[in-house]
Amino acid sequence: MKHPAYQALAERYQRLYRLSHLQAIVHWDQAAMMPPKGAEARAQALAEMGGLLHQQATDPQLAQWLEQAAAEDLDAVQQASLREMRREWQRANALPQRLVQAKSLAESRCEHAWRSQRPANDWAGYAVHLREVLALAREEAQALSDASGLSRYDALLDQYEPGMRSAELDRVFGEVREWLPGLIRAAMERQAAAPAITPVGPFPEAAQRALGLDAMRLLGFDFDAGRLDASAHPFCGGVPEDVRMTTRYRADSFLQSLTGTIHETGHGRYEQNLPAAWAGLPMARARSMGLHESQSLFFEMQLAAHPGFARLLAPLVVRHLGEQPAFAADNLNRLMTRVSPGLIRVDADEITYPAHVILRYGIERALIEGEAEVDDIPALWDAGMMQLLGLDTRGNFKDGPMQDVHWGAGLFGYFPCYTLGAMYAAQWSAAMRRERPDLDDCIARGELAVVFDWLRERIWSQGSRWETAELVQRASGEALNPAHFRRHLEARYLG
């Protein structure tokens, strides 16, 4: 065997991947299918699985193999693979198994409680569970900080967006805060002169589901390797060979489920097109959650909100929801690009969306760094929503700090990835247009392969072959450049 240590590592990480496959499907079932009485047993089972995975990932033998593999004559791809294995190993060894299991248990319990407490606007009840999750997240952050030398928040952020630091986020988000309020006002004033026709419901769930499935087909989703279901909070999970997407339905608004489904389809197509030749290895995973969100937001904002795409979507809407004036392509596009500050992040338009992310980033960073506690969240939320969007959220917890599942699920450090993803998506679009000046005409004609082929070649097929900064440079010809995001918004809403 030419590279025995590297081969031993590859076999171990492929075994971990197969176990993680089972864990991912169980997580999906917990959110989409599990009956309520299964919650505690499922929480215990997931904690047990997390412990077993941690044992395998921290086996002392791995340290020896990593050292030996570094001395082997590996090619460039194997060296990149070894880099990602070492990253996985370092993170796993920073966390004690007790903490891994305790986090899994607390997060499962908090998420399950959230499903009933959110509709009831029961902040006090939810806060009891969230305090335990936060305490364990802080312990995790400290352990990762001790191992990496990063700040506690940056250590969590690095799990989702490797290489990104809060100092850079502060700079980028600080710039956005300067120009965002004026852009929101200008866009709303412009749109007031061209009001959209409001669709007339109700819209049956079965019809909305059928519409969503047709939209997924239009976008190239492979139903032999995935499916769509419903859950309290839309998500994309599973594994590349078996992608599990969910959306949610409201009888009075078909756009919520449609745009949510399109968003998750971007995630799903990324997963389905990750490099199969490296399957099971850490290098075969998506590079970062910012890049993952760049795919979902490219599908939702750059593509679905494109006026040419509305002409492709309108016949599908009519087929499933019936004929009415609101479903004309130009009106459908106005509906999908309407700027209106609202309470709910996942329903926000692309101009006001960054405000939701900036709010959450500030709160979660303060929570992890010990500058705020769970009981401080409502007041911080109310002040931030009033300052950023001019909305009064006092007493409305279900549409305020309880609307997202992220903190209850222990995902501290994830929220910045959404706006980073929007910035990356605008940058991909700008790069495509430089190479294909006829891109807008291609979209209007339904020649979407132009888009998908570019994404497959530059993003999907690369997995984690390159570190984030290099992948972005190779894909678009430049480092992350937030100016593309601002130019995109100004061109669409003020041009």
Taking alpha carbons only, the member of 458, 83, 90, 418 closest to residue 275 is 458
Annotated active-site residue in 107, 161, 264, 350: 264
3-class secondary structure for the chain? CCCHHHHHHHHHHHHHHHHHHHHHHHHHHHHHCCCHHHHHHHHHHHHHHHHHHHHHHCCHHHHHHHHHHHCCCCCHHHHHHHHHHHHHHHHHHHCCHHHHHHHHHHHHHHHHHHHHHCCCCCHHHHHHHHHHHHHHHHHHHHHHHHHHCCCHHHHHHHHHCCCCCHHHHHHHHHHHHHHHHHHHHHHHHHHHCCCCCCCCCCCCHHHHHHHHHHHHHHCCCCHHHEEEEECCCCCEEEECCEEEEEECCECCEHHHHHHHHHHHHHHHHHHHCCCHHHCCCHHHCCCCHHHHHHHHHHHHHHHCCCHHHHHHHHHHHHHHHCCCHHHCHHHHHHHHCCCCCCCCHHHCCCCCHHHHHHHHHHHHHHHHCCCCCHHHHHHHHHHHHHHHHCCCCCCCCCCCCCCCCCCCCCCCCCCHHHHHHHHHHHHHHHHHHHHCCCHHHHHHCCCCHHHHHHHHHHCHHHCCCCCHHHHHHHHHCCCCCCHHHHHHHHHHHHC
48 annotated active-site: no
For residue 208 the two structure tokens come to: 């909305």
Q: Which residues are catalytic?
A: 264
